Amino acid sequence: MEYPKHISFSQEDILHLAQRIETSNLSTEDRDLILQLVDFNSWLENMLQEAKISISRLKRIFGISARTPKKIDPPDASSSWQEPKPVESLDSTSPSSSQKPSKRKGHGRRKSDTYWGATEIDVPHQSLKAQDPCPLECGGRLAPSRPGIIIRMTGSPLIAANRYIQEKLRCALCGELFPAALPESCSTTEKYDEKAKALLVHYKYWLGLPFNRMAHFQELVGIPLPGSTQFELAEKVADCLYPIYWKLIDLSAQSSVIHNDDTKVRILSLMKENRINPDILRKGMFTTGIVAIGEHEIVLFFSGRSHAGENLKSILQLRRSSQLIVHMADGLAASQPKDTKTHSCICWAHVGRKFEEIEAYWPEECAYVLEMIAQIYQTDRKAKESNFSAEERLERHQIFSIPLLGQLRAWLDWQLENNSDGSNSSFGEALAYLDNHWEKLTLFTRIAGVPLDNNPVERSLKIPIRIRNSSLFYKTEHGAKIGDIVMSVIATAHVSGINPVDYLVAVQKNRSSVHQFPEGWLPWNYSASLSQCA
pLDDT given at position 140: 87
3-state secondary structure of 264: strand
Q: What is the pLDDT of residues 83-113, one digit of tens each?
A: 444 444 334 444 444 455 555 565 557 777 7
Cβ(406)–Cβ(398) under 8 Å? Answer: no
Q: What pLDDT score does 256 carry?
A: 94
Using the Cα atoms of residue 115, residue 121, residue 122 and residue 126 in order, give the sign of their dihedral.
negative
3-state class of 187 per DSSP?
coil
Q: What is the pLDDT of residue 142?
A: 86
Percent of the chain with pLDDT over 90: 54
Tell me how crowded residue 508 is: count the other CB atoms within 10 A of its CB: 19
DSSP letters for 116-147? TTSPP-----SS--TTPBPTT-SS-B----PP
Which residues, other chains included, contact 89 with Cβ-Cβ below 8 Å and sequence gap of 6+?
363, 364, 367
pLDDT at position 89 is 37
For residue 112, what pLDDT is reported?
Answer: 75
Give the whole-angstrom CA distance, residue 358 versus residue 423: 14
Residues 390 and 448: beta-carbon distance below 8 Å:
yes
Contacts of 284 (CB under 8 A, 6+ apart): 264, 305
Q: Give the Å distances, CA to CA, from 49 to 46, 54, 453.
A: 5, 9, 29
* Average pLDDT in the chain: 85
Q: Is residue 357 scored above 80 in pLDDT?
A: yes
- Give which of 212, 247, 245 is closest to 230, Cα–Cα: 212
Higher pLDDT among residues 315 and 77, named by residue: 315
Cα-based distances in Å from 242 to 204, 222, 286, 522: 18, 33, 21, 12
CA distance 408 to 429: 16
Give the separation between CA 492 and CA 490, rounded to whole angstroms.
5
Angstrom distance (rounded) from CA 530 to CA 507: 9
Please, are residues 496 and 297 in contact by the beta-carbon 8 Å criterion?
yes
Residue 420 has pLDDT above 60, yes or no: no
- How many residues are present in the chain? 534
Please, what is the Cα angle at 472 between 470 and 476, to 5 degrees? 135
> Which stretch of 129-133, 313-317, 341-345, 388-392 has the lowest confidence by average pLDDT?
129-133
What distance in Å separates the CA atoms of residue 266 and residue 275, rounded to the nearest whole number? 14
pTM: 0.77
Which phi and psi angles does 417 have, rounded to 5°? -80, -30
Using pLDDT thresholds of 50, 70 and 90, give the confidence band for residue 424.
low
Confidence category of residue 53, pLDDT binned at 50, 70, 90: low
Inter-residue contact 465 to 263 (CB < 8 Å): yes
- End-to-end Cα, the chain, rounded Å: 88
Pairs from 477-482 (Cβ < 8 Å, separation ≥ 24): 477/267, 477/269, 477/270, 477/303, 477/304, 479/231, 479/267, 480/265, 480/267, 480/303, 480/304, 481/238, 481/303, 482/234, 482/235, 482/238
Cβ neighbours around 312 below 10 Å, total = 30
Q: Does 157 or 302 have the greater pLDDT score? A: 302
pLDDT tens for each residue of 475-509: 999 999 999 999 999 999 999 999 999 999 999 99
CA gap 354, 90 in Å, rounded: 18
Amino acid at 20: R
pLDDT at 328: 95
Per-domain boundaries in the chain: 190-244+474-533, 348-452
Sorting pLDDT into bands at 50, 70 and 90, what band is 397? very high
Distance CA 520, CA 527 (A): 9
In terms of pLDDT, which residue wins out, 472 or 156?
472
